[in-house]
């Protein structure tokens, strides 16, 4: 069967290698998967959210928010090792990402890495001295 307009051979099941995407096409596909993944996450449809956020990460690995939501999703699923990896990637990509530092502190605490949790809280407070969440997290350590 020939591919339908806009469909690659791999997508329609006829085999073959999909054509390389342009940077603009990657950005568009990544953005769509990211937006749908976040919508699924907010609707607590975590399996669908994970699927689309992972696809978004393939297309737009430079987008810190994709890693943030994946890390937060994995934390909700109590997969703290994966959560830490994703949240670390988020703060590596955006050093001033306070929410990612806060969530990483919680994950570090769940992994019994109290020094790491304290360091993450301190970083969040350094970025925003008026932030409440890092102070609350520190009081729980």
Supply φ then ψ for residue 15, to 5 degrees. 85, -175
State the pLDDT at residue 5: 45
Q: Which two tokens stand for residue 10?
A: 């791999």
State the pLDDT at residue 130: 84
Q: Does residue 10 surpass a pLDDT of 90?
A: no
State the pLDDT at residue 14: 52
Expressed in percent and rounded to 5, the helix, strand and coil fractions of the chain are 70, 0, 30
Q: Which of 20-29, 71-80, 90-99, 125-134 has the lowest mean pLDDT?
A: 125-134
Average pLDDT value over all residues in the chain = 88
State the pLDDT at residue 6: 44
State the pLDDT at residue 19: 72
Q: For the beta carbon of residue 14, count every other beta carbon within 10 angstroms.
A: 12
Cα of 18 vs its chain's centroid, Å: 26
Rounded Cα distance between 55 and 83, Å, is 17
């Amino acid at each position: 069967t020939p591919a339908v307009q806009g469909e690659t051979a791999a997508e329609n099941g006829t085999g073959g290698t999909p054509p390389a995407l342009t940077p603009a096409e990657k950005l568009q596909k990544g953005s769509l998967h990211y937006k749908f993944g976040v919508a699924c996450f907010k609707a607590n449809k975590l399996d669908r959210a994970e699927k689309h956020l992972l696809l978004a990460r393939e297309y737009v690995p430079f987008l810190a928010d994709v890693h943030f939501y994946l890390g937060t999703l994995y934390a909700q699923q109590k997969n703290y090792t994966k959560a830490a990896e994703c949240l670390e990637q988020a703060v590596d990509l955006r050093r001033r990402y306070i929410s990612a530092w806060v969530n990483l502190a919680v994950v570090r605490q769940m992994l019994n890495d109290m020094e790491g949790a304290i360091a993450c809280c301190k970083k969040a407070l350094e970025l925003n001295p008026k932030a409440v969440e890092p102070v609350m997290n520190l009081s729980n350590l």
